[in-house]
Amino acid sequence: MRRRDGRPPAPPAGTEAARAAYRQRTDPDDLVPLLWDSDTDGPGGCAGPARGRTLLFGRHGVGVELQVAGPSRRSLRVRLLTPAAAGRAAVAVVLGGGRRVALCPVGGGTFTATDVPPGLARLRLARAGRRPMLTAWVLLD
């Protein structure tokens, strides 16, 4: 199906990325930005599905490490790097469509999830007595 101006429609991934960028623009100040991505900042500058990926987020005294691994890079391991942030925290993955996937706590400020679908995602950190914090959107592929 073509648009009225005759050009082809935007690909679904492009449309989803544009929506995520708009949502991020309208988020509260509790955004935890991406500081480092092993796919782009690590040795060699890129990684394939067979190799794991590490992302680091940080702001407001909160540090978060996200490891993406496993077959097709669909297993997540999140580690809260700030001890104060780890106490009584809950972590979820928010997918591009808004669906949330809760991560299971395994102790020591570490949380895991398996079978996370590829696509746009961000982490939601909920801590007792504080507003939730959201990481920047990233593409899990």
For residues 42-65, average pLDDT: 76
pTM comes to 0.75
Residue 55's DSSP bridge partners are 37, 66
Task: Identify the residue with better confidence: 82 or 98.
Answer: 98
Q: What is the pLDDT of residue 16?
A: 74
Q: Which of 86, 74, 79 is nearest to 111 (CA)?
A: 79
Q: What is the pLDDT of residue 3?
A: 66
For residues 108-131, average pLDDT: 89
Q: Tokens standing for 72?
A: 């097709």
Q: What is the pLDDT of residue 24?
A: 58
How many angstroms separate the CA atoms of 108 and 67, rounded? 16
Sorted by where each begins, the domain ranges of the chain are: 12-140
Q: What is the pLDDT of residue 10?
A: 76
